[in-house]
Structures are given as structure tokens and as C-alpha cells.
Amino acid sequence: MAAPERFTEQERELLEPFVSDLDAPVFALRNLPETTRGALFARYSRYPGTLRRLLLDEFAAELDDDAGYAGVGTGRAEQLFERVLGEYGDDSVAQLAGFHVACEWVSNLLTKVIERPRLGAYLEQSTRYIAFDRPLPGFGYRYYRSPALGAEYERAMDACFEDYGSLLAALTPWLAERFSRGEGESPGAHERAVRAKGLDLARALLPAATLSHVGIFASAQTFERLVLHLRAEELPEAQRCGELMLAALRSVAPAFMTRVDRPDRGLAWSEFLRRRAATEASAASRLGLAAPGGRDAAAEPGVRLVRVEGDERELLAALLFERAGVSEERIAAVLARLAGEERMALLAELLSGRENRRQLPGRGLETLRYRFEIVSDYGAFRDLQRHRMLTAQWQPLGPHLGASVPEEVSAAGLDALYERALDRSRGAWQALWDAGLHAQAPYALCLAYRIRYALEMDAREAMHVVELRSGREGHASYRALAAQMHELIATVHPAVAEAMVFRDRSAEPRLERIVAELRGEQRRI
């Protein structure tokens, strides 16, 4: 039972615009700048009273007729953050406020850098549902430009976008004929599903320079570190984005960005990141590990399981730990007395009962870990890299791992067009690479070209990734990768693989989006 909190009528009138409920023990803040919200919670830990009382006592005094809601406590908040962040460096305080930032007209190459931090929410414009076949008035096709890249680069990129548009236009009627409308499928749903399939296939010809928009919601701490990472990147576009992001954040919450330009803090950190990258590159080169463009032409596309941590007996102990009243050593001793069949039956019982893929087993599943090394097209990498609860590491994008023509494109007789675009893209990459523009050269490569990357995750995240990315509505490229991950997990932890009951095992050619389109129509009725 919450202790009663009493306010005078004047206090209630003052508080009402800023809290969702004046009497409930659980409430939300509203109509306050993020700086003030964060400062309130920062002060909360050392204030003996309630949050509403804190707002009255220390922050609301600055409210006047001219300042309005946006001015509540901002001066007090700025002073608090300048002292705590600047003088004491308490990073936890920078976790108490969040901001929405839009990064527009950024290349697909840069979006991966922007989306790398774990503690943030990112929403990127999709190449699966948006066509990029029409030039923008006064600009041209949507790709990153820079005088340093030269006129030949722009001609190659224009040609890639033209080939993309030609492929999309030719595939759409062919797909409509191959996947004819079934019984009970409305013309509208079928048309949208055909369009989505065509975009899925055609997107592989878009270059990594294709411009996109990314929306970010993250804490001040995440943004501070992202700015420092962007500043340390070799890619000039990333450096420019970091400066623009810093300016945008300082316009809404300058107190959170006070450390970025301090020689002993932000500047030193960015310099450390540059030195670290240079040291790693030097060591790889010295050991003969840096192939041209960071590639190894001998690699085959697919998934390899390179490391496993933990076994199913350890998993069983971890799943029982939170409901037991003894040490994990005691739990393991009891489990050791069970026959193998009994342990497997108990494990199956503890991993069962899920009604949909969003219902995951307990956190004991996190005691097992997998490290996968993957070689796939860049388009599939873009989708898998976005998962927040795993470690993603990737090598530079280059042409040396090759690219392949999708089966449907060949069946439609469009493989010559497809291969022409790939050859032109590779030629543009080579020209940039030979000019010494190693960081910018990947701009020229189509998303069909392959990249090598590692994904390391625990078994709970693996269950989420496999079940989500194997779904029938997903892109064929990453559906195949999810199936391979599942098969590899089954070789070392069969009970875990068996528990992934919502993995879609179907592999027949189909319109991936048709079921979703039909469901959407039903919801709109």
C-alpha cells in the first residue's frame, strides 16, 4: 500500500500538466524537456522525498508565464548535468534521458555504423518495400555523391540504378504469371505480394551507396558514444554525420554533450578508437591476414559454427536455478544422478509450452553460446546485423567473395542484365580502390556482393533469430541462413534445436508476403 502524498490545490494545479496521475504510485512524466526529466531522475537517488515533491521543491520554481512548459527546470537541470557529467563523469546519469534523432540521406554503408550500438532503437527505410527506380527531381538517383569519388563513379551508379529499374519492371509481370492468384486471394493482396517479391529480388542490384533514412531513439549516453565512434571512422561521410548529430543534440540538450570536445575525454576517446583500428589493421597485415579488400576468395557462402560454449546438462541446471533453493553445484549433483533419458525429458518439459515465437524460455537458456561465421550477400547481412542482443563483427565489403544470380532471375531470362550490373559495380569498386579510396570503394558494390561476418549469441537469442528470420515472409537470403544456423545448433544441442518449434521449415518457391497481405486486408475490414 503506497503512503499517501498530499498536495495543496496550488501544488496540484502546478503539477497536473507534468505528471500523468497526481495520486497513483505509478505515473509518467509529460510536457517536460528531456534534460529536465533526466535531471529529475539523476537527483532522485539522493533526494529523500518523492519525484513529484522533488519537481515542486527544486525544479518548478523556474516556471513562469514566458517560459511555459518547455522552460520547467531547464536551468536547474543544465547546472546539475554540467556538474555531474563534467566534474564527476557519472555515466549512469547520461542514461536517464532519451532523444529521437533522424539521420536522412545517409548511405547504406553508413547505416550499419549508425545502427551498431546495442542500447538504442533503430528504424531504417526498407529496400524490401520501397522502390528506388525513379530519380529525385534536381538530384538524380538516390545514392551518395562526393567530388572525391569522381564522374566515372557517378556514371556507374546511374547505370546500376537503371539496371535495377529495368529488372524490377521485367520481373513484376513474370512473377505475376509464375505465382498466379490463388483461390481466396484478392487481386489487391496478390498484386502487393508480387510487387514485394519483385523488390526483394531487385534490391540486390542497389549499390551500398543507396541513400536511406534512419530514425534513432536512444539514451544520451548512447548518442554521446555514437558521436565519438562516428568521428573516429575512416569514412568521411561518417565523420560528417557525427558532427551533424552532435549539433542536433546540442540544440536540444547541450548539457549531455559537454564531454565530447574535452581534450581529456571525448577527443582522447575518438583518438584512441582511431589508434585501435590502425593497430588492428597493422597486425593483420603483418601476419599476412589482410587479403585485397579484406577478402578471401576461397570462402564459400553459408554458415559455419566456429565455437560453442556450454552443454545441455549446464543448460538444465541454469533453467532450474531461479526456482531452486540450493546452490548450482547442488543442482548439478542432483541432475548427475538422473539417467540421460530423464534429463532429456526434463529439458524438453522446461523448454515447452510456448504458444508463439515471442514467448521465450527462461534466461537459463543464456548459459549456452554460439559463434557463427557467415558469408552471405550484403543485403542479408543488413537484416541480421540489426539484432541488438548479439555481437556482430564484420569485415569490409569487397567483391572478392563474389555474388550469385537468384534462381528466379535466371528462370525469368534476366541473368544477363543482372550480371552486367554486377560487373559494372565491381569495375567501379576497383577504380575507387586503385585510387586509394579504400573506405569509400564499397559504395560502388551492389548488395548482391558477399561479405564475411561473425554473429555471436546465446541460445535464447539464437531461438529468437532462427524463428524470426526463418519466417515465410522473410527474404529468401536470410531464411536460408536461419535454416543453416538451426541445423548447426541441432548437431551440438539437439534439445535446443527441437525447442525452436516456430522455425518455418518450408522452402518451396512462393510469394513471401501473400499471407501477410491477406491478414492485413482482414484487419482493415
* Model pLDDT for residues 338-391, shown as the tens digit of each residue: 999 999 999 999 999 999 999 999 999 999 999 999 999 999 999 999 898 999
* pTM confidence score: 0.87
Q: What beta strand segments (E) does 382-494 contain? A: 391-394, 450-458
Closest to 198 (Cα-Cα) out of 134, 127, 140: 127
Q: Provide the mean pLDDT of the chain.
A: 87
Which of these three, 56, 72, 95, is where a domain ends? 95
pLDDT of 62 reads: 59
- Whether the predicted pLDDT of 165 surpasses 60: yes
pLDDT of 1 reads: 42
- Decide: residue 416, CB within 10 A, 0-12 exposed, 13-18 middle, 19+ buried: exposed
| Domain membership flag for residue 329 | no
Q: How confident is the model at residue 304 (pLDDT cuts 50, 70, 90)?
A: very high
Q: CB neighbours (10 Å) of residue 125?
A: 18
- Whether the predicted pLDDT of 169 surpasses 90: yes
Answer yes or no: are the C-beta atoms of 77 and 42 closer than 8 Å: no
Answer yes or no: are the C-beta atoms of 517 and 192 closer than 8 Å: yes
Q: List Cβ neighbours of 93 (8 Å cut-off, separation of 6 or more).
A: 38, 42, 81, 84, 85
| 199 and 91 fall within a common domain | no
| Domain membership flag for residue 402 | no
- Decide: residue 260, CB within 10 A, 0-12 exposed, 13-18 middle, 19+ buried: buried
pLDDT of 87 reads: 53
Q: By residue range, what is the domain housing residue 186?
A: 100-292+413-444
| 247 and 382 fall within a common domain | no
Q: What span, in angstroms and rounded, lies between the C-alpha atoms of 241 and 223?
A: 12
| 34 and 144 fall within a common domain | no
| 377 and 421 fall within a common domain | no
| 42 and 83 fall within a common domain | yes
pLDDT of 181 reads: 83
Kindly report, residue by residue over 431-471, the tens digit of the pLDDT.
999 999 999 999 999 999 999 999 999 999 999 999 999 98
DSSP class of 181: P
Domains of the chain: total? 3
| Domain membership flag for residue 323 | no
Q: List Cβ neighbours of 221 (8 Å cut-off, separation of 6 or more).
A: 91, 94, 95, 119
Answer yes or no: are the C-beta atoms of 244 and 121 closer than 8 Å: no
pLDDT of 64 reads: 46
| Domain membership flag for residue 173 | yes
DSSP states of 204-272 as a string?
GGSBTTBEEEEEEEEEHHHHHHHHHHHHH-SSHHHHHHHHHHHHHHHHH-GGGGTTTT-TTTHHHHHHH
Closest to 168 (Cα-Cα) out of 192, 201, 142, 140: 201
CATH code for the domain in which residue 431 is found: 3.30.1360
Average pLDDT over residues 129-141: 92
Closest to 476 (Cα-Cα) out of 447, 512, 517, 450: 512
Average pLDDT over residues 405-432: 95
